[in-house]
Structure 1
Amino acid sequence: MAKFRYAYEKIVGLKASEKRQAEWMLSDAIGKLQTEQMSLDQLRSERKQWEERLLELSTSAVSLSELTTIQHYLDHLDSCIMNKIAEVHQAKGVVEQSRSHLGMKMKDEKVWLQAKERELFRFQQATLLQEQNELDEMATVRFMIAAP
Structure 2
Amino acid sequence: MTSDREQPAPEHRRPQGVADATVEAVGKLSEALETVEQARGHLYAFHQLMGRADRQLGSASQMLAESGHPEPAELLETAMVGRNVLEGRWTFQIVEEFDDGYWAELREHEKVVREALLAGRRHVYEAEMKEARRTKGRAGHEARPAPGQ
Q: TM-score, normalised by structure 2?
A: 0.56
Q: Secondary structure at the match of 2:84?
A: helix
How far 1:45 moved relative to its partner? 0.8
Q: Deviations over 1:51-95 (max 9, x none)?
A: 1122233334223x21222111224xx211735333322332322
2:106 maps to what in 1? 98
- Alignment check: 8 A CA contact 2:64 2:73 kept: yes
Q: TM-score, normalised by structure 1?
A: 0.56
Amino acid aligned to 2:76: I
1:67 maps to what in 2? 73
Amino acid aligned to 2:85: C
How far 1:29 moved relative to its partner? 1.2
**Structure 1 position 79 matched with structure 2 position 90:** no
Q: Distance in 2 between matches of 1:12 and 1:60?
A: 71
1:130 maps to what in 2? none
Q: Distance in 2 between matches of 1:16 and 1:87?
A: 34
Query: Structure 1 vs Structure 2: percent identity of aligned residues?
Result: 8
Task: Name the structure where helix makes up a greater proportion of residues.
Answer: 1
CA 1:104–1:15: 2 relative to 1, 3 Å: farther
- Alignment check: 8 A CA contact 1:50 1:70 kept: yes
- Alignment check: 8 A CA contact 1:29 1:91 kept: no
Q: Deviations over 1:118-144 (max 9, x none)?
A: xxxxxxxxxxxxxxxxxxxxxxxxxxx
- Alignment check: 8 A CA contact 1:19 1:105 kept: yes
RMSD (Å), alpha carbons: 2.6
Gapped runs of 5+ residues in structure 2?
Answer: 1-15, 122-149
- Alignment check: 8 A CA contact 1:47 1:74 kept: yes
Moved more, 31-40 or 13-22: 13-22
Amino acid aligned to 2:55: K
Q: Distance in 2 between matches of 1:18 and 1:31?
A: 20
Q: Distance in 1 between matches of 2:25 and 2:94?
A: 27
- Alignment check: 8 A CA contact 2:58 2:81 kept: yes
- Alignment check: 8 A CA contact 2:64 2:72 kept: no
Aligned positions of 1:100-115 closer than 5 A: 100-111=108-119
Q: What number of residue pairs does the alignment pair up?
A: 101
